[in-house]
Amino acid sequence: MNVLIVYTHPNHKSLCDAFLQEIISACEQNNNIQEWKVVDLYQEDFNPVLVFNERKRRRDMHTDPDYENYRQQIIWADKIVFIYPIWWGRPPAMLLGYFDQVFAANFAYRAKGKYLAEGLLEGKTAVCISTMKGPAYYPLFLLNNAHKMLMKKAVLNFAGIKKVKFFEFGSMELPNGNQQQKLKKIYSYFKRLQH
């Protein structure tokens, strides 16, 4: 199994980075994982701004050479892991810009009839690991689970990735947020991961 880790946090002293390090350690110990790669969108200075003009046409995004490396990483991966904080009830703009540009029509999906689309990334699975300052129930009760709906339904399922697992960790800035227990949970999950 090939695992692609898309890391989206500007601070490498963050809890998101601690989750990243646990996943890397677990991948190294898991015989089911042949290879793993990390894409650090902030470190790579990924430009999340979507541009359409005479030179960059929307219909050609699936062949845009600026994103060929990212498309090849998606093709290579069996499992895609997204690590990010929840800001304003949603993932960072950096990650949303990644989806805007990499998950393009005729790469991640294609039109099927007038109103339907066909996901082209079938067979892949995803894991979403998110942290937030607020309590874990906040997105569910106050935001109608908007974050999960966005990631699962509007992006990943739409692109054909039907199996999506979520780890949402709230109250992460509190001293008693059980951070070590949650890090162990992620390590254990990835160490036993089979696909």
What's the pLDDT tens digit per position in 26-68?
Answer: 999 999 999 999 999 999 999 999 888 888 787 888 989 999 9
Rounded Cα distance, 91 and 157, in Å: 17
Given this model, what pLDDT does residue 31 score?
A: 94
| Domain boundaries 2-191, corresponding CATH code | 3.40.50.360
**What tokens appear for 183 in the block?**
């890090």
Q: How far is CA 111 from CA 6, 37, 61, 118, 146, in A?
A: 26, 30, 15, 6, 25
Instruction: Tell me if 59 sits within 8 A of 24, measured CB to CB.
Output: no
Give the number of other Cβ atoms within 10 Å of residue 18's Cβ: 18
Q: Which residue has the higher pLDDT, 2 or 58?
A: 2
- Rounded to the nearest angstrom, the gap between the alpha carbon of residue 110 and the centroid of all alpha carbons in its chain is 21
pTM over 0.85, yes/no: yes
**What tokens appear for 127 in the block?**
């894991």
pLDDT tens digits along 99-154: 999 999 999 999 888 778 899 999 999 999 998 865 555 555 455 578 888 999 99
Greatest extent of the chain over all pairs of C-alpha atoms, in Å: 53
For β-strands 79-85 and 109-112, DSSP reports them as: unpaired
**What tokens appear for 67 in the block?**
């994103």
For β-strands 116-119 and 109-112, DSSP reports them as: antiparallel
Instruction: Tell me if 6 sits within 8 A of 39, measured CB to CB.
Output: yes
